[in-house]
Amino acid sequence: MSDSASSSAPAAAAAPAPDAPGHGSDRPLFALRQASLGYGRHIVLRDVDLEVHAGEFWCLLGPNGEGKTTLIKTLLGALRPRRGAAYRDPEMFRRGRVSYVPQRLELNPVLPTSVREFVLSGLVGVKADATRRRGRLERVLSLVGLTGSVSRNYWTLSGGQRQRAMVARALIRDPRLLVIDEPTAGLDFAAARAVLDVLEDLHKTYGVTIVFVTHELATAQRYASHVALFRGGVVTAGAKAQVATDQALERTFGVPVSVSMGQGLGLGLGQGPGPGLASGTELEAGA
Amino acid sequence: MISDFIASWDLFFEPYALTLLSAALLSLIGVVTAARRQVFIAAAVAQASTLGYALFTLLIGVGTLPAAIRDVVCVAAAVLAAVLTMLYGSSRREGARLDADELTAAVFLLGGAGSVLALARAPAGMEQLRRLQASSVIGATTLDVVLFAVLLVAAAVFVILRHRALVLVLSDPVMAAAVGMRLRVWNIALAVTCGLALGLAVISTGALYAFATLALPVMVAKHFCGQVRDLFWAAPLVAVATVLVGLFLAYVWDLPPGQLIATLLCAWLGLAVVARRVWDALAS
Ligand SMILES: Nc1ncnc2c1ncn2[C@@H]1O[C@H](COP(=O)(O)OP(=O)(O)OP(=O)(O)O)[C@@H](O)[C@H]1O
Ligand SMILES: [Mg+2]
């Protein structure tokens, strides 16, 4: 699609794009104004106001079926708001610097697909010759710990390995905006930790904007700069300190939650780097 | 014997060429319908095209329409049915009461029953229906051959240039939208292509042959391919090779080629399943 889409992350880091953090552009990458989202006549979310700016790290939190995936589909342009307006930064989306890790895949599992083919499908619209494609493939596969599985049938992977392959597919196009629907669901402790570390590194080092659905408060607590809470068709969104209060979390989940306790909930991630996945800095080394 | 068969190409060039080209085209399209779990769509489209024709005849009130009009109506009805069924299938909703296969079954039944009802009392109605349903390649014209050749080349070029985008839109439409692909355009384009190819094939080669060459080659090829991308050449290869063998055997034994080719494809499928099992057993 564009040459810039094929430039590597470190190159982008060396010469920060205007959307890199600290460049304080006021224009959001994505915004909803008084938007109602849903499917056909079924409205899932009402009057949503939300702005995602470059360099932010968003966590979407809420019980099952509250519309987190629906909001993500709208963000990515796969769904149009039923009412109200959705704005998407034309530059970012036209240049294809957006990537997505879905909650699950729609491909018919009776069709064979290899890890290689699956991950490379993330390069659609990116100009890259065969050597470059191979380089990128190796880099992202080592990042998610799937190097040895490149020729394997995707459908013979375990749930967690598939999740890693989906993360690899998203990373292979060096996104500036990465949208992830429950990236750590089904991952073992170390793998979940490693995926989160990669995200944190992308965010901190390269200024990649991240929008992230999770059910783990500890994860939100640790990584997010912004939070959106989903409850009863209403989205409360903003900076983490303002939005993720004890009362708001309790209202959202219907059980008493303490922000400080959030650390102890969910995965209860430990501190040490997880084995199995290399640290995110390899993205730089491999480029 | 083989030289006799080769000599017969002069006489039967159009039917032979049509049989080959439509098999190659439909087996290519079969990869897409398999990926979308819409394998039965060919059967439904075949019936819908006869229903379209029957309703048109009933509405206009003419018993005998010129063949050209009949074909146009059938193709239009087939395309419409295929587009609706495929669009429904690709916008499948969680919690929806019908999936694509069920809808396809309903279209199939409505098409089959409705067309008979519509023409039951029309003069020579049943006669016409029978002719439509039992169509064979014998009447193939140069126009048919050119049409299928053009469609095949267009489809093949498209797959070669855009296979990665195709795999993405089939496996993950939301990611496809995220990277700037226009889903609506893709869905409609895929549905129209399938409908057009199927509608034309049903009319010029018959429903059974069209369905067989759509559904079976990809099922065979899948046993030996590790990637969706490889299916796009392996399925047409299986189809073309089988058609050549089938045409030859049909010539030698004087049997209807369409049915013979369908049977051969089923036989390959059986062999492929066994071969794969053996291979896996040896490999492990
Ligand atoms: N394709 C669809 N068509 C119609 N309704 C849908 C569709 N997808 C989801 N819904 C409905 O929209 C509502 C919100 O679903 P959504 O998937 O956005 O929830 P979620 O917050 O992502 O849940 P989870 O945490 O379980 O992933 C649900 O009531 C669901 O039934
Ligand atoms: Mg969800």
The answer to whether the CB atoms of A124 and B93 lie below 8 A apart is: no
Mean pLDDT across A158-170: 86
What is residue A2's predicted lDDT score, i.e. its pLDDT? 38
Higher per-residue pLDDT: B90 or B169: B169
The boundaries of the domain holding residue B26 are 2-278
Question: Are A206 and A239 contacting, i.e. CB atoms less than 8 angstroms apart?
Answer: no
**Touching A: B residues 100-159, CB under 8 Å:** none
CA of A88 to the centre of ligand 1 (A): 22
Decide if B178 and A39 are in contact by the 8 Å CB cutoff: no
Instruction: Note the pLDDT of residue B41.
Output: 76
Least confident of A51-60, B6-15, B83-92, B209-218: B83-92
Q: What is the pLDDT of residue A138?
A: 94
User: Which pLDDT tens digit goes with each residue over B220-237?
Assistant: 999 999 889 899 999 999
ipTM of the complex: 0.77
Contacts 24+ apart (CB under 8 A), A147-154: A149/A115, A150/A114, A150/A115, A150/A116, A151/A114, A151/A115, A151/A116, A151/B226, A152/A114, A152/A115, A153/A112, A153/A113, A153/A114, A153/B226, A154/A113, A154/A114, A154/A115, A154/A117, A154/A118
The finding on whether B95 has its CB within 6 A of some atom of ligand 1 is yes
Residue of B170, B175, B232, B269 best to disrupt the A interface, most CBs of A under 10 A: B175
Check residues A190 and B161 and name the one with the higher pLDDT. B161
Ligand 1 site, residue A69, Cβ cutoff 6 A:
yes
Q: What is the DSSP string of A194-256?
A: HHHHHHHHHHHHH--EEEEE-S-HHHHHHH-SEEEEEETTEEEEEEHHHH--HHHHHHHHSS-
Higher per-residue confidence, B122 vs A11? B122
The two tokens of residue A253 are: 């989940």
Inter-residue contact B85 to B43 (CB < 8 Å): no
Higher pLDDT, A103 or A47: A47
Cα-to-centroid distance, B132 and ligand 1 (Å): 45
Chain A residues with CB-CB distance to B227 below 8 A: 112-114, 116-117
Q: How is residue B64 written in tokens?
A: 């005998």
Which residues in chain A have their CB less than 8 angstroms from residue B178's CB?
A: 76-78, 98-100, 179
**Which CATH number belongs to the domain containing residue B129 in this structure?**
1.10.3470.10
Least confident of A58-62, A63-67, A183-187, B93-97: B93-97
pLDDT in tens, B167-212: 888 888 888 888 888 888 888 888 888 888 888 887 788 888 888 9
Q: How far is B267 from chain A (nearest CA, A)?
A: 20
Write down the H helix ranges in A21-89.
Answer: 68-75
Size of interface A-B (CB pairs under 8 A): 99
Report the 10 Å Cβ neighbour count for A101: 24
A214 lines ligand 1 (CB under 6 A): no
3-class DSSP state of A38: strand
A68 lines ligand 1 (CB under 6 A): yes
**pLDDT at residue A202 above 70?**
yes
C-alpha B170/C-alpha A134 separation (Å) is: 23
- Contact yes or no for A1 and B180 at CB 8 A: yes
Compute the distance from residue A104 Cα to the ligand 2 centre, in Å: 9
As beta bridge partners, residue A147 has none
* Mutation pick for ligand 1 pocket among B88, B90, B92, B94 (CB with most ligand atoms within 8 Å): B94
Please report, for residues A31, A55, A58, A179, B71, the alpha-carbon distance to residue A18 in angstroms, rounded to integers and kept in the order given: 18, 11, 20, 20, 58
For residues B3 and B216, the model is more confident at B216
The two beta strands, A57-61 and A30-39, are unpaired
Assigned domain for B283 exists: no
Between A68 and A259, whose confidence is greater? A68
Could you give the number of structural domains in chain B?
1
Torsion angles phi and psi, residue A280, rounded to 5: -60, -20
Mutate to test the pocket of ligand 1, among A60, A69, A103, A179 (most ligand atoms within 8 A of CB): A69
Please give the number of the atom of ligand 1 that sits closest to the Cα of A66: 21
CA distances from A19 to A129, B78, B187 (A): 27, 49, 32
Kindly state whether residue B208 falls inside one of the protein's structural domains: yes
What average pLDDT is seen over chain B?
84
pLDDT of amino acid A107: 64
In chain A, which residues have their Cβ closer than 8 Å to the Cβ of B228?
A: 111-113, 117
Residue A273: the pLDDT is 36
**pLDDT tens digits along B239-272:** 999 999 999 999 999 988 889 999 999 999 999 9
pLDDT band at A185; cut points 50, 70, 90: confident
Residue A11 pLDDT > 60, yes or no? no
Given a cut of 90, whether residue A260 has pLDDT beyond it is no
Of the candidates B46, B39, B192, B53, which has an alpha carbon nearest to the alpha carbon of residue B107?
B46
Name the residue of A41, A43, A64, A66 whose CB sits within 8 Å of the most ligand 1 atoms, as the mutation to test its pocket: A66
Range with the largest mean pLDDT of A91-100, A202-211, B242-251: B242-251
Cβ within 8 Å, pair A99-B179 = yes
Q: Residue B204 domain-assigned?
A: yes
Question: Does A42 sit in the ligand 1 pocket, CB within 6 Å?
Answer: yes
pLDDT attached to residue A20: 41
Answer yes or no: is B284 within a domain.
Answer: no
Q: Is the pLDDT of residue A278 over 80?
A: no
Q: Is residue B26 part of a domain?
A: yes
* pLDDT score of A262 more than 50: no
The pLDDT, as a whole number, for residue A263 is 44
Distance between CA atoms of B79 and B75, rounded to whole angstroms?
A: 6
SS3 call for A78: coil
* Residue A184 pLDDT greater than 80, yes or no: no
B82 located within any domain: yes
Please determine, for residue B72, whether its predicted confidence score (pLDDT) is greater than 90.
no
Give the burial string for B144-172 (b: 16+ CB within 10 Å, else e).
bbebbbebbeebbeebeeebbbbbbbbbb
Per-residue model confidence (pLDDT) at position A269:
33
Percent of chain B with pLDDT over 70: 89
- B87 touching A (Cβ < 8 Å): no
- The reported pLDDT for the residue numbered A9 is 41
Average pLDDT over residues B32-40: 83
Is B105 inside a domain boundary? yes
Q: Is A114 left (phi over 0), alpha (psi -120 to 50) or beta?
A: beta
| B70 φ, ψ (degrees, to nearest 5) | -55, -45
Asked if A77's CB is within 8 angstroms of B178's CB, the reply is yes
Q: Tell me which of A105, A117, A121, A156 to substitute to probe the interface with B (most B C-beta atoms closer than 10 Å).
A: A121
Helices (H) and strands (E) in chain A, counts: 12, 9
